[in-house]
Amino acid sequence: IEEVDAIIDKNGSTVFAEIQGYIDCCIKLSGMPDLTMTFVNPRLLDDLSLHPCIRFKRWENEKVLSFIPPDGNFRLISYHISSQSIVAIPIYLKHYISFREGKLDITVGPKQTMGRQVEEVSLEIPMPKSVANCNLTASQGRYTFDPVSKVFHWDVGKIDITKLPNIKGSISLGAGAGPVEANPTVTVHFVINQMAVSGLKVSRL
């Protein structure tokens, strides 16, 4: 499991990115098996937290996870990959948001997903206080705009690469509102199963 926290500028370049990862296990083996796990690229791992069953010295010297696992569910390791490493963000956003023109147009699509499905996609935008309403049409999913909190939310779902999700329409400002020159932050949440964004790969178990 890997969680990506990234900041992307309006040109699509990554300003900041880091990954928090976990390897969770569910063990149902008889006896006391002695297991080892190795990685193709263990140098990617920073700030590693190991389960007590792991022999620390062997990891420190050989970068091999050697352990006798406990029964049931447990977290074998957790790790952090800093922004100094190259993180390929597997999703992109094309957007045009103009409060002066009262227009919004957003398209979201997959990028470098190795053929994996992008699921549970949702977008959230905190709008300026002067925005009164949004009249939009979504090609898929549904959107909401809370006139009190001024938060726009679009629940996209799965991305179909043959017809990328798009939402567009008009933004209405309140009566007497002056010109708005805001650059709102777009927060994107998504899930890609069976994919490690960091590029971390298990060599042998």
pLDDT tens-place string over residues 50-69: 999 999 999 999 999 999 99
Rounded-to-integer distance, Cα 64 and Cα 88, Å: 26
Q: Which residue has the tokens 């149902």?
A: 28
Q: 91-192 is classed in which CATH architecture?
A: Sandwich (2.60)
Average pLDDT, the chain: 87
Residue 71 phi, psi (nearest 5): -75, 150
**Coil, strand or helix: which one is 6?**
strand
Identical topology for domains 2-86 and 91-192: yes
Higher pLDDT, 96 or 205: 96
Report the candidate in 153, 162, 171, 163 with the shortest Cα–Cα distance to residue 105: 171
* Average pLDDT value for residue range 26-40: 88
Predicted confidence at residue 89, as pLDDT, reads: 83
Residue range 77-106: mean pLDDT, rounded = 84
The pLDDT of 11-28, averaged and rounded, is: 85
Write the pLDDT tens digit of every residue in 142-201.
999 999 999 999 999 999 888 999 999 999 988 776 667 678 889 999 998 878 887 788
At residue 47 the predicted structure's pLDDT band, cuts being 50, 70 and 90, is confident
Element (H, E) at 125: strand 118-126
Regarding predicted confidence, which is higher, 66 or 18? 66
Residue labelled with tokens 């992109």:
92
Is the pLDDT at 28 greater than 90? The verdict is no
Query: Residue 10: which of 126, 103, 97, 128 has the closest Cα?
Result: 97
Neighbours of 6 (CB within 10 A): 16
Domain 2-86: which CATH number of 2.40.40.20, 3.30.70.141, 2.40.10.10, 2.60.40.1170 = 2.60.40.1170
pTM to 2 decimal places: 0.76
pLDDT attached to residue 82: 75
The residue among 36 and 194 whose pLDDT is bigger is 36
Triad 70, 75, 76: Cα angle to 5°: 75
**So where are the chain's domains?**
2-86, 91-192
For the chain, percent of residues with pLDDT exceeding 90: 47
